[in-house]
Homo-oligomer: A and B are copies of this chain.
């Protein structure tokens, strides 16, 4: 019978080509042809795995979310609670070239029209997932008594943390802050949110 290739693996390769194009030339340069050229294939071959450009972009964004989620769940919590929170959230921020490319992909979807329904759903999942992560972290910090007192309602703390993370990320992507400046500001914020103190309980829940 015929030649058999791993479709899922090929789609991941194509998605990585999309990331490279976005990171290098911006999302406006993403087209079926440019992505095929980046991956080293013909545009006809690409169309066997993605029939439309929107589908290609949506998969590329979904894969970013999946990769970041996997990295976060694979993290072993070491050190203080604050260091654990820091390590988790820094996985979503542009601290190096790879994470910068991932963040660029995620943010590119917001600026585009997003008329496509599938893209809009991916975008919605991206933001709500990130908010729920912030809410979970803040809640855990409160449960172990690590959160600075007094503090506003947990939903407010979570939304604010979410805004700080995305705001700093945006400023790095725009070239307004360097990754080092971003990390320093983020550390200063976390130090106020989760102050130093003898931890009343271990970080592992």
Report how far A6 CA is from B189 CA in the complex, Å.
Answer: 50
Task: Tell me which residues across on chain B come within 8 A of A107, comparing CB atoms.
Answer: 110-111
The count of residues in chain A whose C-beta lies closer than 8 Å to any C-beta of chain B is: 42
Query: Which of A120, A162, A167, A192 is the most central at the interface, judged by chain B CB atoms within 10 Å of its CB?
Result: A167
Min CB gap A118→B, angstroms: 15
Query: Would you call A166 an interface residue if the criterion is a C-beta within 8 Å of the partner chain's C-beta atoms?
Result: yes
Residue of B nearest to A26 (CB): B113
Report how far A108 CA is from B131 CA in the complex, Å.
Answer: 23
Query: Which of A163, A164, A171, A188 is the most central at the interface, judged by chain B CB atoms within 10 Å of its CB?
Result: A163
Query: Would you call A75 an interface residue if the criterion is a C-beta within 8 Å of the partner chain's C-beta atoms?
Result: no
> A114 with B26: in contact, given A123-B174, A171-B127, A174-B123 (CB under 8 Å)?
yes
Q: Is A160 touching B176 in the complex (CB atoms < 8 A)? A: no
Query: Would you call A2 an interface residue if the criterion is a C-beta within 8 Å of the partner chain's C-beta atoms?
Result: no
Query: Would you call A173 an interface residue if the criterion is a C-beta within 8 Å of the partner chain's C-beta atoms?
Result: yes
Binding site for B on A (CB under 8 A): 25-29, 107-108, 110-115, 120, 123-124, 127-128, 131, 152, 156, 159-160, 162-168, 170-171, 173-177, 181, 185, 188-189, 192
Sorted from nearest, which 10 A-B pairs have the closest CB atoms?
Answer: A26-B113, A111-B111, A167-B167, A163-B167, A127-B176, A166-B167, A110-B174, A108-B111, A163-B168, A159-B185
